[in-house]
Structure 1
């Protein structure tokens, strides 16, 4: 089982790497930006100096409740060979392309919404297109002011035409997996 999870994580990394849009070349930072950078890095130009001063520790990728959901989704994926793939912790900026249709400041603000958000689980079709995103709300999710962030995320998914659903540790997984089948069947019927 561990090998399968490890293989899935490697496949996720490869899929994200291969589907990332090419980045635009960055402009050379202005002197004022360079001074801000120098102030935040203590004048060090070499990131390795910054990292050597920091303490970096490994941490678990998911808790026991989230692991339970992942295992259920991977079992569901095995029942749908060659049709769908379950990915974990996918950034919205990897899923969606944001086009600049307004001012630069509005685009920068929208870009921030994308860069700072992810979904816990994403189901993609055989061609790699996102079809269903699942947000897992851990204990204490709403104690950290997540309501507004959830609203923004829901708006992004609605505009992109991708279904977003939310679950928590009280969700009955067998029924939820049936609901996934129903949502995807409805989606396929809409495409036909």
Structure 2
């Protein structure tokens, strides 16, 4: 056995100190490596437009229970899978093009059958209540809302509303969500709470229709949300026509 090792055995306190320092250095390197993996994973999500910043100070008002989101183990696993491909940065346009060229794509329906029925009933209702308004479907909130912080914008950027009613100037006025079967499963209620609060703060009305609702129920929801959003108070179009 080398004399250096024998000397350390004779002085166990030095041996313990060296082992402690080695363990500390190893933990520091591991934490740094894990952080690098998470940052690479986050950069990839941002490049794809899939990054959603989770609120750091709790869930939205009205939400009860734990806030849903990926666990650290899930984040690390996805980061490891990303880095396993031999890349450590954000894929550029050429990388994205090669990925697309190596895959097969096919079109899919924009609306399911339940949402399609709602759209068919919603368009004539809106045309009657507010001529000149339009109905858009599956609209990303990042396209119609802005925020005073990057974190807040990232929170709503990838979220969509089923139906968005816009006025003649293409300003968002009312959002309608279709709640089909199983709409309370998983984190759906939390996502709806985030969308509802963001729209409320922007002054955009929010309403919900459910599977089984007919044109009459839909018309009542739309009229109620329009009144709550202050459509007449804001523009005064129909009030002016009546005077």
* Both structures adopt the same fold (TM-score exceeding 0.5): yes
Distance 1:123 1:40 in 2: 45
Q: Within 5 Å, which residues of 2 pair with 1:48-63?
A: 48-63=97-112
Deviation at 1:82, TM superposition (A): 4.1
Deviations 1:120-139 (A, max 9, x none): 10111111111110011222
Distance 1:59 1:94 in 2: 22
- Pick the structure with greater CA Rg: 2
User: TM-score when scaled to structure 1?
Assistant: 0.67
CA contact (8 A) 1:41 1:50 kept: no
Unmatched segments (≥5 aa) in structure 1: 1-31, 101-106
Instruction: Name the SS of the counterpart of 2:185 in structure 1.
Output: helix
Among 202, 211, 226, which residue is 1:169 paired with?
A: 211
CA gap 1:77/1:163 in 2 versus in 1, 3 angstroms:
closer
Q: What is the aligned partner in structure 2 of residue 103 from structure 1?
A: none
Equivalent residues, number: 153
Q: What is the aligned partner in structure 2 of residue 74 from structure 1?
A: 123
Instruction: Name the SS of the counterpart of 2:154 in structure 1.
Output: helix
Q: What is the aligned partner in structure 2 of residue 190 from structure 1?
A: 233
Distance 1:82 1:41 in 2: 54
Deviation at 1:182, TM superposition (A): 4.3
Matched, 1:156 2:156: no
CA gap 1:40/1:128 in 2 versus in 1, 3 angstroms:
farther
Distance 1:170 1:183 in 2: 19
Distance 1:158 1:97 in 2: 13
After the TM superposition, list the runs of 4 or more consecutive aligned residues in structure 1 that deviate by more than 4 angstroms: 40-45
Among 89, 110, 113, which residue is 1:64 paired with?
A: 113
Unmatched segments (≥5 aa) in structure 2: 1-38, 45-81, 237-243
Distance 2:224 2:206 in 1: 14
Distance 2:158 2:210 in 1: 21
Q: More strand per residue: 1 or 2? A: 1
CA contact (8 A) 2:110 2:138 kept: no
User: TM-score when scaled to structure 2?
Assistant: 0.55
Distance 1:81 1:161 in 2: 18
Deviations 1:137-177 (A, max 9, x none): 22222223211111111111111111111112122322321
Instruction: Name the SS of the counterpart of 2:143 in structure 1.
Output: helix
Instruction: Name the SS of the counterpart of 1:141 in structure 2.
Output: coil
CA contact (8 A) 1:130 1:162 kept: yes
